[in-house]
Amino acid sequence: MQNPHTLEKAVLVIVFSQDRKSILLIKRDDVRLYAFAGGAIDPQDSSAEEAAQREFEEETGYKISIERQVALYSPFGPFSRTTYLFEGKILSGSPKTSLETREVKFFALDNLPKNLVPLYHDLIQDALDPNCPKEKPMPRMYWIRDWRFVYNPFIFVPFLWGRFRWWSKTRFTLSK
């Protein structure tokens, strides 16, 4: 039987500092944006939580525990995925880059990098809200809100190409 967590699903992990005034972000290597660590749920992952822990360690060098599921976001179109957002806590390790990351760093919530994935402002607010609904739609057209993102071809073209590759891969895989 196929793992039910593997079709078109992804995980993101937000880690706060102990005082909850900073968050850990990675600078992605492909589109040079700051983001949460995360990625696709692989077939070998027994759960979304396991995928989140694996992806976080691969991209940051830190082992984490999953403290809670913040939300499960439903996709809004063919270029988005069902995405779990988890809050994690660092257990051990040290920051390290990988093939996917250029930088691993804590940023104060009141001084986030300008090239943060635009959607993440909403996700940070969800993680800070103890009453956030556990299931909700992914904010629509999040990248349209930040015109620098749309008009910068060095960011926007790789982003769209990555989304198209994922969409075409899942479309043809699911149709077999």
Structure-model confidence comparison of residues 154 and 158, the more confident one: 158
pLDDT digits 0-9 by tens, 11-39: 999 999 999 999 999 998 877 789 999 99
pLDDT of residue 156: 64
Average pLDDT, stretch 128-144?
A: 75
> Taking Cα atoms as reference points, which of 132, 140, 142 lies closest to residue 33?
142
pLDDT digits 0-9 by tens, 59-101: 999 999 999 999 999 876 665 688 999 999 999 999 999 888 8
Ramachandran region, residue 2 (left: φ > 0; alpha: ψ -120 to 50; beta: rest): beta
Structure-model confidence comparison of residues 165 and 50, the more confident one: 50
> Taking Cα atoms as reference points, which of 123, 146, 145 lies closest to residue 136?
123
Q: Delimit the domains of the chain by residue range.
A: 9-174
pLDDT digits 0-9 by tens, 139-151: 654 544 445 555 5
Mean pLDDT of the chain: 82
Distance CA 129, CA 143 (A): 22
Ramachandran region, residue 32 (left: φ > 0; alpha: ψ -120 to 50; beta: rest): left
Q: Domain 9-174: give its CATH architecture.
A: Alpha-Beta Complex (3.90)
pLDDT of residue 6: 40
